[in-house]
Amino acid sequence: MPNLHDIERRIKSVTSTKQITRTMEMVAAAKIRRASERVESALPWAVAISDMLISTAKYAHLDNEPLLQVHDEVKRVLIVAVTSDRGLAGGFNTNVLRYVEKLSKEKQREGAEVEVAACGKKAIGYFTYRGIEPVFSFAGYSADPEFAQAAELSGYVMQAYAEGKLDEVFIVYNHAKNAAEQTLVEQQVLPVKEESYADLLGLKAKEEDIFKSFRERDDSAIPGDIDFEPSTESVMSYMMNAYLNNAFYYAMLDSAAGEQGARRNAMKSATDNANEMVSTLERIYNTVRQGAITTEITEIVGGAAALED
């Protein structure tokens, strides 16, 4: 049985840790709102540019835009892993990194070479430790993403895909479903899939989707012609550039919101566990203290009886 001094020291240590985790929980909760607002502001444009590209590409000559080409063979695949720069967020980073590793092995079994782009210190450290050198990486922006990093990554992907150095591009990140829940998302960026953000992220049922009339054509109506000005090449090039920039930037924003939610949940669990541990230690402390008092009383009574004899 530990002595009272050891238990008191343990209680102080756990209480100090609880204060830290409680503070981190409050900080994460304060950051969630701003991060969620950025995601909500970016979502309409993300949905619009994605749907516009999918619907417009049907009327364009695909030979005019190399980024719209579907390569005959999938020889090289790029997987972009979006993680955080800091830990203490539960399984937020682990889920992404394990899924990237799983997807990488699947593509390798299919005969493709897999390259990895790491967004966030956790992804960089994970792959570097395993001897995998990311072809593109940046850190320090996971909690507050900037468009410049997304545009730089987008530029690398566009050039590599146009030159035939890449055949498929995927993004893996955590979608902030709400302030308390995150879901893992695998998004195929290139070649472009006819998949809306509403379906990808599970935002709304299709009948409630505000973009339904834009996304779904009415086959009973006579379709109109689409004119490209100043040219098909310039229009599709602009839309592909905007689409890729947005895909990476939105993934980073969404991941940032999910990071704060995951950290708040993790710190709340840590705080609750600390409270429970302190309660347990206090019960043990009281039991040991009562035992010590009982022992002292017994010794006093025994001593008094011996003196009387």
Within the chain, all domains assigned CATH 1.10.287.80 are found at 2-21+266-304
pLDDT at residue 170, rounded to an integer: 93
On the 0-12 / 13-18 / 19+ scale of CB atoms within 10 A, 249 is: buried
Within the chain, all domains assigned CATH 3.40.1380.10 are found at 23-262
CA neighbor of 96 nearest in space, from 82, 86, 108, 106: 82
pLDDT at residue 140, rounded to an integer: 84
Q: Which residues of the chain have pLDDT under 70?
A: 1-2, 61-64, 203-225, 304-305, 307, 309
Distance CA 76, CA 168 (A): 7
Task: Please give the CATH superfamily to which domain 2-21+266-304 belongs.
Answer: ATP synthase, gamma subunit, helix hairpin domain (1.10.287.80)
Bridge pairing between strands 182-190 and 168-176: antiparallel
Instruction: Indicate the class that CATH gives domain 23-262.
Output: alpha beta
CA neighbor of 155 nearest in space, from 64, 52, 249, 71: 249
pLDDT at residue 79, rounded to an integer: 92
CA neighbor of 143 nearest in space, from 49, 227, 48, 31: 31
Given a contact cutoff of 8 angstroms between Cβ atoms, the answer to whether 119 and 80 are in contact is yes
Which pTM does this prediction carry? 0.80
pLDDT at residue 283, rounded to an integer: 85
CA distances from 303 to 18, 289, 290, 299 (A): 45, 21, 20, 6
pLDDT at residue 286, rounded to an integer: 84
Helical residues (DSSP H) of the chain, grouped into ranges: 4-57, 92-109, 121-129, 147-162, 197-201, 212-215, 232-308
pLDDT at residue 222, rounded to an integer: 47
CA neighbor of 257 nearest in space, from 24, 23, 37: 37
